[in-house]
Amino acid sequence: MKNRILWSLVTLAARALGPDERDCVRGDLEESGASASESLRAIFGLVMRRAGAACGDWSNWLRLAALIIPLSAILSIISRRTADWSAIYFWLYLNNWHLSFMNTAGFWSVLAESAWGISVGFLTLACFSWTGGFVLGNSPRRALRMNGFLFCCMLLLGALLIAPYYLHSRQAMLMQRFPPRPDGHPYHDNDAVFALTFYRTVFPLILQAIVVVLPTIWGMYRGRRFSGSHAFLNLMIWTAVATTVLVMLLEVPGLGLVIWTHAGPSAVNVLAHLVRGLRLLVYWPLVYLILSAIWHVRVQRLAPA
Amino acid sequence: MIGEFEYLMLSAASRLGEDAYGASIRQEIKHSTGRSCSIGALYTTLDRLEKKGMVKTWLGEPTPQRGGRAKRVVRVTAKGAKAASDFYAAVVSVSRGVSWEARQRTIR
């Protein structure tokens, strides 16, 4: 029993290595007749040495500071904001449901509008995440697993600490800037929703896991397979990526207030028009995946039997 | 100049010739030095040597003794052979006249 557990741990630890290296190392250990505990120690030692070598490489630190941390922070903030506003609608329909609503025409119209808004919001967030993963997927092969692991850790840190702190600070800044209600009470319009632990804490994590982490991993997988050999296609894709990252930055809550403070309301209008105009390009992953699937099917049909 | 462990690996791989791969190099180093080397040290050093152009590695055929898994075959390049030769010459040169050199000659 103990041996079986140890061999399972060996298999799990070996997954931290690349597929070819995993094969070679497991084969060497089997050939030398190493026991389960010896194999586990050996593989763990190799993984730690690789991690140590990665720490000594300056390009990994640069990638961490310039790409992984900012991207994960921005995605966490946008994800948290999406979770917060969509939670209000989920609370309205799920926690306040009554059968009599179904007889009201207005209910169905508002439900359709809310469902559409939430779907578009989730799809936009998924496209942002997929794009982020695609960029990470173009890291050097050896750094890919480490980058993916660090990105997921930073996303969790973002969800638990960075995003709530950022949004709370922004709210406090808005409260200072705008006058309170005539009765002196501060604005807390959605207390009923966020008094529930599920909407305050659990729902943002679920959303982050499904709409951010999974698309990011998928994007990394496709980014790793992207060869970039066709110059025009390369240019189009990286232009779409750059535009998506720009829109992500512009979508960060609070940026409008900063621009309004420093550059005035006309600059905010220009910003809003810019985001509206560029928004369509954010959905480039859908076009890419559909065209890739069509190409793949076409190549399979034309391949000789 | 290469380090001690890199020299051991180049020498072991050169002596093994066609049979040089991960497990056999490890076995050869243990047999020659009496010290076992870890898989981690072996593979990270192989990566370093390959990056410096001193060895070439590729995936070999899987064998039943390895549970049907492939092996990482190693070949020392001309650059690697020169680096090992330079290291050997440096060690021999700096060891001339030292007390343990005379002791080794007496033992032989």
Within 8 A of B40 by CB-CB distance, chain A residues are: 42, 45-49
Q: For A16, list phi and psi in degrees, rounded to 5.
A: -75, -10
**B46 vs A: CB within 8 A:** no
Within 8 A of B73 by CB-CB distance, chain A residues are: none
Q: How does pLDDT run across B34-86, given as a tens digit for each residue? A: 888 888 899 999 999 999 999 999 988 888 878 788 889 999 999 999 999 99
Query: What stretches in chain A show pLDDT beneath 70?
Result: 142, 175, 177-189, 255-265, 304-305
* Distance of alpha carbon A280 from alpha carbon B45, whole angstroms: 49
Token pair of A10, please? 């060996």
* Distance of alpha carbon A51 from alpha carbon A187, whole angstroms: 49
Q: Residue B58: beta bridge partners?
A: B73
**B64 vs A: CB within 8 A:** no
Complex ipTM above 0.85? no
**B39 vs A: CB within 8 A:** yes
Residue-averaged pLDDT of chain A: 82
Q: What is the pTM of this model?
A: 0.68
Which of residues 49 through 78 in chain A touch B, CB cutoff 8 A? Answer: 49-50, 53
Which of B43, B59, B69 comes nearest A46 by C-beta? Answer: B43
The answer to whether the CB of B39 falls within 8 A of the CB of A29 is yes
The pLDDT score that the predictor gives to residue B87 is: 94
